[in-house]
């Protein structure tokens, strides 16, 4: 299956996170809109610029130069101190938001993440998910991100570095010649500064020129690194998203429908698919949910959502879907065209820490066995190998895809 990869990169992270924090605390000035930098102790001539605003960049201020040099270029420059605790908090907020889309997340740095979305699209497109993440981060967290959209990590990373800020860019294989090959060789990911002059001496100045250079010549000149450079220039990267599971505060998913839907039975089927994925992830984390939320977006981009507490915490697909379906019927107005449907669960608790009722455990034992069979098959053959047919009745109908 073709991989579906996103790279999420916070725009000007240290300065943006400081700006958001100051605005929340009542500041009347957004330091992103004035000549400002994040730096060390200005009383020491060795203090350096760690991040700069767009207005500071206009004065020629660059990351890595001393604050003394920066002040010489712009006397009215505002300097703000480093706050690593604040950066960590904002990085974690971003990570928790991204966990609502996939649990396969590689934290590449404090302000960058790779997401493997291969099993998480549910009929939606990778580009739709990228745009949704971009908008949600700005609306819910207050800062902006670039999102790169591709079929491997390299191309997603390259795409996110295209024009900034607050952009979503694709870089699929067929777009490499037009979007990547014309870039200067210095823009290629993982290319060291010492290597660039050597490539210039070989009359290689663009990524495209490197891509068309004989592979064996690159290996002869640079060894394994030469092979990697040649493969990267051609968009070749088979590396996996290196993730470790971290338990989320909430689990959810949504999908933009391929066409507007006004048939509630079709909405129910999509809601079931979303519920299956959400509860599958709950069980993997050994978590139970207390609250279910369902969201609808109409063709006119009007958003509605309803939520309700479950009778008791559960990860049972049938129970959660039953409540989700009730919420759907409560808020859906017959005949309204729907373009997006989503569901999420919140107020999560550890299953092992919860004292379950003896009666509810007996009642749910059969359904838990069905859920476990489905989960085991998904683990063995891939998430998309098995689905529940149509609707959940008293007995689950399982549909196996070709394996």
Backbone phi and psi for residue 356, each to the nearest 5 degrees, phi listed first: -85, 145
Residues near 188 by Cβ (< 8 Å), separated by ≥ 6? Answer: 158, 207, 210, 229, 232, 233
Position 395 confidence tier, pLDDT thresholds 50, 70, 90: very low
The reply to whether 65 belongs to the active site is no
* Residue 386: predicted pLDDT: 55
Highest mean pLDDT among 37-51, 273-287, 389-403: 273-287
> What are the Cα distances from residue 89, in Å, to 93, 133, 283, 378?
6, 19, 27, 34
Which token pair is 5?
């990869």
CA atoms within 13 Å, Cβ hemisphere of 330: 14
- Look up the pTM and report it: 0.78
Tokens of 402: 């070709």
Q: Distance (Å, rounded) from C-alpha 350 to C-alpha 340?
A: 30
Please tell me whether the peptide bond between 384 and the residue prior to it is cis, using omega within 30 degrees of 0.
no
- Cβ neighbours for 80, distance < 8 A, ≥ 6 positions apart: 15, 18, 31, 36, 37, 38, 39
How high is the pLDDT of residue 383? 54
Residue 125 predicted with pLDDT over 60? yes
Residue with tokens 């767009």, as numbered in its chain: 54
Q: Which residues contact 16 (CB under 8 A, 6 or more apart)?
A: 10, 32, 143, 144
Region of poorest pLDDT, from 246-255, 259-268, 276-285: 246-255
C-alpha 109/C-alpha 125 separation (Å) is: 26
Q: Identify the structural domains of the chain with CATH numbers, from first to last.
A: 5-10+87-166 (3.30.70.270), 15-84 (3.40.1170.60), 181-233 (1.10.150.20), 251-400 (3.30.1490.100)
Q: Which of 33, 65, 106, 112 is catalytic?
A: 112
- Cα–Cα distance for residue pair 233/155, rounded to 1 Å: 10
Given this model, what pLDDT does residue 40 score?
Answer: 79
The per-residue pLDDT for range 52-99, each reduced to its tens digit, is 999 999 999 999 899 989 999 999 999 999 999 999 999 999 999 999
**Cβ(162)–Cβ(182) under 8 Å?**
no
In the predicted structure, residue 400 carries a pLDDT above the cut 90: no
pLDDT at 396: 47
Percentage of residues of the chain with pLDDT beyond 70: 86
- Percent above pLDDT 90 for the chain: 74
**Alpha carbon 291 to chain centroid distance?**
23
């Amino acid at each position: 299956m073709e991989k579906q990869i996103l790279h999420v990169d916070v725009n000007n992270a240290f300065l943006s996170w400081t700006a958001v924090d100051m605005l929340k605390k009542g500041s009347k000035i957004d330091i992103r809109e004035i000549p400002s930098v994040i730096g060390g102790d200005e009383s020491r001539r060795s203090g350096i610029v760690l991040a700069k605003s767009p207005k500071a960049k206009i004065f020629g201020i660059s990351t890595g130069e001393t604050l003394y040099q920066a002040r010489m270029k712009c006397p009215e420059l505002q300097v703000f101190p480093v706050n690593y605790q604040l950066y960590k908090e904002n990085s974690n907020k971003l990570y928790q938001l991204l966990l609502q889309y996939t649990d396969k997340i590689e934290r590449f740095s404090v302000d960058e993440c790779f997401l493997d979305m291969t099993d998480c699209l549910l009929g939606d497109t990778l580009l739709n998910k990228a745009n949704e993440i971009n908008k949600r981060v700005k609306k819910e967290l207050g800062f902006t991100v670039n999102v790169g959209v591709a079929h491997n990590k390299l191309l997603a990373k390259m795409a996110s570095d295209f024009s900034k800020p607050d952009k979503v860019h694709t870089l699929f294989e067929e777009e490499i010649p037009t979007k990547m090959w014309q870039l200067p060789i210095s823009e290629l990911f993982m290319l060291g500064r010492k290597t660039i002059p050597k490539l210039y001496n070989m009359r290689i100045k663009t990524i495209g020129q490197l891509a068309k250079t004989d592979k064996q010549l690159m290996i002869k000149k640079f060894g394994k690194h030469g092979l990697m450079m040649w493969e990267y220039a051609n968009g070749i990267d088979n590396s996996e998203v290196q993730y470790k599971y971290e338990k989320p505060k909430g689990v959810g998913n949504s999908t933009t429908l391929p066409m507007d839907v006004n048939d509630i039975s079709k909405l129910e089927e999509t809601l079931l698919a979303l519920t299956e994925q959400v509860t599958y992830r709950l069980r993997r984390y050994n978590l139970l949910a207390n609250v279910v939320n369902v969201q609808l977006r109409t063709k006119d981009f009007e958003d509605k959502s309803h939520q309700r507490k479950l009778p008791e915490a559960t990860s049972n697909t049938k129970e959660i879907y039953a409540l989700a379906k009730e919420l759907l019927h409560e808020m859906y107005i017959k005949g309204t065209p729907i373009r997006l449907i989503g569901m999420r669960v919140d107020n999560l608790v550890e299953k092992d820490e919860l004292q379950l009722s003896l009666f509810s455990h007996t009642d749910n034992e059969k359904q838990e066995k069905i859920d476990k069979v489905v989960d085991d098959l998904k683990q063995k053959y891939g998430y998309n190998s098995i689905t529940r047919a149509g609707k959940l009745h008293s007995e689950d109908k399982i549909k196996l895809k070709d394996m």
